[in-house]
Chain A
């Protein structure tokens, strides 16, 4: 039991040292070093032990599967970003063809939310850039949707407006990005499970 408490403390400490937007240092390798004898084994054992404490087997498998399912399901959106990330003429910077990304998103209105999450998860070079770019993407989507109501996409002003309409808002009125991300992952997994069930029912009926 003492070991378990100890590992919970280590888990919380490691998590606390790892999570947070304010943490930022230049990735500069200052030197190389050999670790103390047995140090790497102890480090690995610690990381593995806290994983085992935090996750039961079922939860572990669920998490891995969810990650894999979401990654595969958002491939279309991620590819849209990849294809529309361009270098400036002087090759010094890159930018996104926002209107082209929006146009591509609107080609599959049925899966708009899922594809938008794919774009969200891969656009930008940091969190700030990500939020700036996704705001522009949804603004552009809204402008196009206004001209083409037959697509059935609501005309959102921007990504913040999209989140507000979907209910991803904190008590203080700011956008709850974590709630959005969590909900999208759940939606994607639910959609996949629903599809599997439908296939199972269809297969049964055709026997």
Chain B
């Protein structure tokens, strides 16, 4: 049986599958893959107020690099 992934819609109107969530340093990063194009992916982080959760853009290019590394490390791929 194929694994089912949650799907969200981003600002571009496209559907993205949530392939992973990783919490580091107080931030929860969400790893998203375009349902129609598996090489098209992005990373967002979760912020929440008292009633709702949002997916927001990362703060800097450096944060993107770090978030990408969290994902790579979690999946046990050793690039060193």
Partner-B contacts on A (CB < 8 A): 10, 13-15, 17-36, 39-40, 42-44, 46-48, 50-52, 54-55, 57-58, 60-61, 63-64, 67, 70-71, 78, 92-94, 121-122, 125-127, 177-178, 181-182
Asked whether, in the complex, the Cβ of A23 is within 8 Å of the Cβ of B8, the reply is no
Describe A's contact surface by its main secondary structure: helix
Contact partner of A30 (CB less than 8 A), chosen from B8, B30, B42, B66, is: B8
Question: Complex formed: what's the CA distance from A51 to B58 in Å?
Answer: 17
Alpha-carbon separation in the docked complex, A150 to B52 (Å): 45
| 8 Å CB contact of B25 from A13, A60, A67 | A67
Which of B15, B35, B48 has the largest count of A CB atoms less than 10 A from its CB?
B35
Q: B2 and A14: CB pair below 8 A?
A: no
A43 touches B38 (CB 8 A): yes
Contact A25 B55 (CB under 8 A): yes
Q: Is the CB–CB distance between B72 and A48 below 8 Å? A: yes
On chain A, the residues within 8 Å of B71 by CB distance are: 47
Contact A14 B72 (CB under 8 A): no
Bitwise interface map of B from 35 to 65 toward A, beta carbon under 8 Å scored 1, else 0: 1001111111011111011111111111111
- Contacting B54 at CB < 8 Å: which of A25, A78, A122? A25
| CB proximity of B59 to chain A, nearest CB, Å | 7
Of the four ranges (under 10, 10 to 19, 20 to 34, 35 or more), the interface on chain B belongs to 35 or more
- CB-contact partner of B50 in A20, A26, A94, under 8 A: A94
Whether B56 and A52, one on each chain, are in contact in the complex, defined by CB atoms closer than 8 angstroms, is no
Return B75 CB to nearest CB of chain A, in Å.
7
Provide the residues of chain B in CB contact with A122, threshold 8 Å: 26
Contact across chains for B72 and A47 when beta carbons are under 8 A apart: yes
B39 adjacent to A51 (CB under 8 Å) = no
User: Is B53 within 8 A of A26, CB to CB?
Assistant: yes
Residues of B within 8 Å of A29, CB to CB, are 6-8, 18
B4 to chain A: which residues have CB within 8 Å? 32-34
Please tell me if B73 contacts chain A, counting CB pairs below 8 Å: yes
Q: Is the CB of B18 within 8 A of A126?
A: no
Q: Is the CB of A20 within 8 A of B61?
A: no
> B4 CB to closest chain A CB, in angstroms?
4
In angstroms, Cα B35 to Cα A29, docked, is 14
CB of A76 to closest CB in B, whole Å? 14
Q: Write the nearest CB–CB distance from B46 to chain A, whole angstroms.
A: 6
B61 A19 Cβ-Cβ under 8 A? yes
In the complex, are the beta carbons of A32 and B26 less than 8 A apart? no
List the 8 shortest-distance A-B pairs measured between CB atoms, nearest first. A23-B57, A34-B2, A17-B42, A27-B53, A39-B38, A20-B57, A32-B4, A57-B80
Which residues from A are CB-within-8-Å of B44? 18, 23
